[in-house]
């Protein structure tokens, strides 16, 4: 699909909202007492490194934008009122809670400031894996069988399908997923769930493990201008354990564990089904501007939706979404501009968008 190019928008003032990884900070700066339980090692997995923020800033400045960096904390409302950006490029994950990704979009909506990406409702729903599955199954989209284990539960109840994978219900970036996340019996499940409930302090999703091939699909745009990239396959060259799991450690050390192939080596009818399903999910959940959707293809070629990220990572040379774009012939700077263009068009800021 041919996309319209953005012209250089003179004077456009763009704010970037973001959260930085704690690893780049003084760990004691928050005044946290020493006797509190330590955070899990992947506690800041979803947050960005400053290099990602600066890469987006450079892409925006290459088009003559004035860019402000707006790190998300309790001072953000004051910063927004003082800085007065024309539009915000939002990559912030929020501070805490099941609806944390909705914090910044809700604030921007309150102040009437345009921004890139999905709104607070979509982000809030999509972060809750079980809620997303419940909605999508009503649209006949296949997903693995699952149960939610509440954090206040003491004992497991009901029947479980093994092998099963255990993950925090409201996290992204493979947070809480490791080489031991797949269990094969009820005892292993009880032990792992008990540990993770204490560690992540939230409900846990227990999901039927689907063996087979793993894919991710990137999408950008809105309405008739939605563009679905060809699927990218995650090909495992080394296992952490018995099962192929796209874990936090695998993602962090991806060069040791996986290779990416795009376009994927799959029959045309499967590629079409995957891309059409991705677009349907994008539209059902009212996603805006961009998102990434993960699938598993079972050995008998059944397609399963795994999860969606309507706020996908944009770390150049690392995050899946920029990789997908690059495999499909789109540079990093062009990707950033296509996301911004989609938002500008949605908000009627046509003076910053080139004509066909």
- The CA distances from residue 237 to 153, 167, 173, 265, in Å, are 38, 23, 20, 16
pLDDT by residue for the chain (356 residues), tens only, comes to: 445 454 544 579 999 999 998 755 444 444 444 445 667 766 677 788 999 999 999 999 998 899 999 999 999 999 999 999 999 999 999 998 888 999 999 999 999 999 999 999 999 999 999 999 999 999 999 999 999 999 888 678 888 889 999 999 988 767 778 778 899 999 999 999 999 988 888 999 999 999 999 999 999 999 999 999 999 999 998 766 678 888 878 888 888 899 999 999 999 999 999 999 999 999 999 999 999 999 999 999 999 999 999 999 999 999 999 999 999 999 999 999 999 999 999 999 978 765 43
CA atoms of 314 and 18, how far apart (whole Å): 11
- For 149, phi then psi, to 5°, come to -100, 115
Go through the domains of the chain in sequence order and give each one's CATH number: 13-116 (3.40.50.20)
pTM above 0.85, yes or no: yes
- Compute CA 165 distance to the chain's CA centroid, rounded to the nearest angstrom: 19
Closest CA to 87 of 108, 104, 102, 110: 108
- Compute CA 295 distance to the chain's CA centroid, rounded to the nearest angstrom: 14
Residue 247: exposure state from Cβ atoms within 10 A (0-12, 13-18, ≥19): buried
- Record the tokens describing residue 163, joined without a space: 């092998």
Q: Residue 341 in contact with residue 217, Cβ under 8 Å?
A: no
Show the CA angle centred on residue 76, arms to residues 338 and 127, nearest 5°.
60
């Amino acid at each position: 699909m041919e996309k319209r190019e953005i012209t250089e928008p003179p004077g456009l003032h763009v704010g970037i909202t973001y959260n930085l990884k704690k690893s780049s900070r003084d760990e004691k700066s928050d005044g946290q007492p020493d006797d509190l339980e330590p955070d899990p090692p992947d506690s800041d997995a979803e947050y960005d490194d400053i290099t990602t923020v600066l890469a987006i800033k450079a892409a925006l400045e290459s088009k003559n934008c004035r860019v402000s960096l707006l790190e998300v904390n309790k001072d953000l409302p004051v910063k927004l009122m003082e800085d007065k950006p024309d539009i915000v490029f939002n990559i912030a994950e929020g501070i805490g809670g099941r609806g944390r990704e909705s914090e910044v979009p809700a604030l921007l909506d309150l102040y009437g400031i345009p921004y890139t990406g999905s709104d607070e409702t979509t982000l809030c729903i999509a972060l809750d894996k079980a809620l997303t599955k419940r909605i999508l199954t009503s649209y006949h989209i296949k997903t693995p069988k699952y149960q939610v284990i509440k954090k206040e539960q003491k004992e497991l109840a009901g029947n479980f399908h093994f092998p099963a994978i255990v993950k925090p219900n409201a996290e992204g970036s493979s947070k809480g997923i490791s080489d031991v996340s797949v269990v094969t019996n009820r005892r292993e499940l009880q032990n792992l769930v008990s540990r993770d409930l204490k560690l992540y302090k939230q409900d846990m999703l227990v999901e039927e493990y689907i063996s087979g091939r793993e894919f991710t699909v990137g999408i950008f745009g809105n309405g008739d201008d939605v563009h679905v990239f060809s699927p990218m396959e995650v090909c495992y060259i080394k296992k952490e354990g018995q099962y192929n799991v796209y874990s936090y450690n695998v993602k962090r050390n991806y060069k040791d564990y996986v290779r990416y192939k795009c376009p994927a080596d799959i029959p045309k009818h499967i590629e079409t089904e995957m891309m059409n399903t991705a677009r349907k999910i994008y539209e059902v959940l009212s996603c805006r501007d961009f998102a990434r959707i993960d699938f598993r293809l079972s050995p008998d070629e059944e397609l399963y939706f795994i999860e969606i990220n309507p706020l996908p990572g944009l770390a150049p040379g690392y995050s899946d979404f920029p990789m997908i774009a690059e495999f499909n012939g789109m540079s990093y700077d062009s990707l950033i501009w296509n996301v911004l263009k989609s938002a500008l068009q949605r908000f009627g800021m046509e003076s910053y968008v080139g004509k066909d």
